[in-house]
Amino acid sequence: MKAFSKPFIAYIPGYEDNIGIHFVADELFWKPFLVFHLLPSEIVSIKCEDIANSSSSFIINCKNRSFSLSDLENNISGWDTLKVKRYLTYFTAILFENWAFDLSEDEKKSIESGLPLYRITVKQSDGKEVILTVWEKWKNENGIRISNTDRVWGKTNLRDEIFIMKYSDLDPILKKRSYFFTE
């Protein structure tokens, strides 16, 4: 609304409840729900850490259209260049589902203090670094806390808010090191 514009009352015929609950004023809600939105040419390196299985973790370095793949310490040979190039394209649109607005401060602290599942660090050509940390999401069924197999908690170093991601949105960038080798 413009300054000094007249407010209005919204009404939906047949809807008896307060319609105002459907209007979200939080500015985070109106920003794109993007985690990564990068062209392959904007990526300098990617570090994908599988916290539970460090032997699946890897680092990709990209310099002058030349690539290298390594575990967390040493360079590796025998990998497929096309698979590395394809993997870089997956970072053009990695989205999340929604902000976790309904979490209490204690729940946020509990999530952040827990052991993450994955940590993905992307260094960009402009010097910026985005670190995505992913934790297991749970749900309560009949008072029992069980793992949610469809969604995870996520957070980047760019904001202090936790969000919810679908595995189907995250899956393209969750590769094991073995993915980059021909069978």
Please report whether residue 27 resides in a domain. Answer: no
Residue 18 lies in a domain: no
94 within a domain of the structure (yes/no): yes
Determine the pLDDT at residue 102.
85
Per-residue pLDDT at 21: 67
**pLDDT tens sequence across 139-158:** 878 888 889 989 999 999 99
In a domain, 19, yes or no: no
Question: What's residue 24's pLDDT?
Answer: 66
Decide if 96 is inside a domain.
yes
Predicted pLDDT of residue 9: 64
Rounded-to-integer distance, Cα 62 and Cα 44, Å:
5
pLDDT value at position 38?
95
Q: Residue-wise pLDDT tens for the chain (183 aa)?
A: 566 666 666 667 787 777 766 666 666 666 778 999 999 999 999 999 999 999 999 999 998 889 999 998 898 999 999 999 999 999 999 999 999 988 899 999 999 999 999 999 999 999 999 999 999 998 878 888 889 989 999 999 998 899 999 999 999 999 999 999 987
Q: What is the pLDDT of residue 32?
A: 75
Domain limits at 99? 34-180
Residues 154 and 35: beta-carbon distance below 8 Å: yes
Of 150, 38, 148, 33, the C-alpha closest to 96 is 33
Count of domains observed in the chain: 1
The confidence score (pLDDT) of residue 109 equals 94
What is the model's pLDDT at position 7? Answer: 64
Residue 175 half-sphere exposure toward CB, CA atoms < 13 A: 20
The whole-angstrom separation of Cα 147 and Cα 139 is: 6
Q: Would you say residue 173 lies in a domain? A: yes
79, 58 Cβ separation under 8 angstroms = no
Pairing of β 34-36 and β 94-95: antiparallel
In a domain, 101, yes or no: yes
And the tokens for 135? 């934790």
**Quick check: 81 and 60 in contact, CB under 8 A?**
no
- Residue 147 included in any domain: yes
The confidence score (pLDDT) of residue 2 equals: 61
